[in-house]
A = this chain, B = another copy of it.
Amino acid sequence: MTGQNPVFIPGPTNIPDRLRYAMSIQTMDHRAPDFIELLSPLLDDLKKVFKTKTGRVITFPASGTGGWEAAITNTLSPGDKVLVARFGMFSHRWIDLCQRHNLDVEIIECAWGDGAPADLYGARLAADTNHEIKAVLVTHNETATGVRSDIAAVRRAMDAAGHPAMLYVDCVSSLASMDFRMDDWGVDLAVSGSQKGFMLATGMAIVGVSEKAMEAAKSAKCPRTFFDFNDMAGANDKGGFPYTPPLQIMYGLRASLDMIFEEGLDNVFARHARIAEGVREAVRAWGLKLCAHRPELYSDTVSAIYVPDGFNSDELTNHIFDHYGVSFGVGLGEMAGKAFRIGHLGSLTDVMALSGIATVEMAMADLGYPVELGSGTRAAQEYYRQTTKTALKTAA
């Protein structure tokens, strides 16, 4: 019925045709030379996106959750202590995963809407004089609350504490959309996936692995096979895969990297920042509040927005879907019913973003929200038109 409306969920994203065609490749033999020629530059180019020169990239046919599991099980042993802050649904789920793998999880509870508390991380690490903590886990972009955390600050806290733990970062919904610096920030495990900044179908977990983490994989005792780093890295080094590779997504990823490099990583980030700021202008005009507590926490890939008291955000997203055929993100966990989310990542344009904003307004008017119809759209229009020249120059 409404198949050509964009989606505004925070991933999977709207897929550009170029990538859909790339992923439609007919079956080829994954043991043939063509595949070898594909694989090695693909993994190398992924390193550029992670901004790592010393690490390597390992991929699995799985979703981002599989990437988390790979990072944990390859580098830790049952009983190992990990330190992690919980401030949203995805940090919550990662904690649960660690617990199921019998790790000793020390949790820093934060308010949802807050970011990773570098100071608290630092305090705990400083107190851990025996260095029992083996891993520090941080969610770079908490998709449930639209919060981007300061990974560099966490690294500085770790260094200040002189603590040797490894740093694990969930960058599923930030990589290739917002700046990420694996080497500069001293990240040991960086977990991402195909369906966010890379604008592809779901189906590939993409993990940046530092040398230190690869070394840890030699002795880590958490059981794993499908997600084994050594199997995968060893096979990759010979041009292969330890099992059937997800060929279509790999060719899609080749095209995605081409698109990203053609535009330029910095231009990709600037484009995301501009689209996001337009959405935030709309939220301000509506008089609504973002879940993210402070401007420096605002995510450029997703905005989580509180509905006014007395309204239910699920009713809003359902109404939009039923009446206008457009999908927005629902509130997750603590935010269920209280907030909805606008995903603004991937190949979205300002023009597409305006249609999403205008649609939210219609639905809010339908449901009697105290929001002026057109107000957010106008605010976003104003912002987009004032910034359009820059946008075009960087995209050229």
Contacts and interface: CB of A to CB of B under 8 A. Distances in A.
Contact of A225 (B100, B201, B225, B381): B100
A352 B263 contact: no
A327 B28 contact: yes
Interface string A151-162: 000000000000
Interface in A60-87: 60-66, 68-69, 73, 78
Contacts of A24: 17, 20-21, 23-24
Nearest to A98: B225
A211 interface: no
Kindly report how many copies of this chain are found in the complex they form together. 4
Contact of A202 (B1, B61, B358, B388): B61
Contacts of A373: 378, 381-382, 385
B381 A361 contact: yes
Given A351-B325, A388-B323, A388-B324, A248 B201 contact: yes
A210 interface: no
Contacts of A96: 225
- Max chain B Cβ within 10 angstroms of own Cβ: one of A100, A330, A347, A362: A362
8 smallest beta-carbon distances between A and B, as pairs: A374-B378, A29-B327, A355-B355, A21-B21, A362-B385, A65-B243, A354-B358, A201-B248
Interface of A: 1-7, 9, 11-18, 20-21, 23-33, 60-66, 68-69, 73, 78, 96-97, 100-102, 193, 195, 201-203, 222-228, 242-249, 263, 321-327, 330, 347-352, 354-356, 358-359, 361-363, 365-366, 373-375, 377-378, 381-382, 384-385, 388-389, 392, 395-396
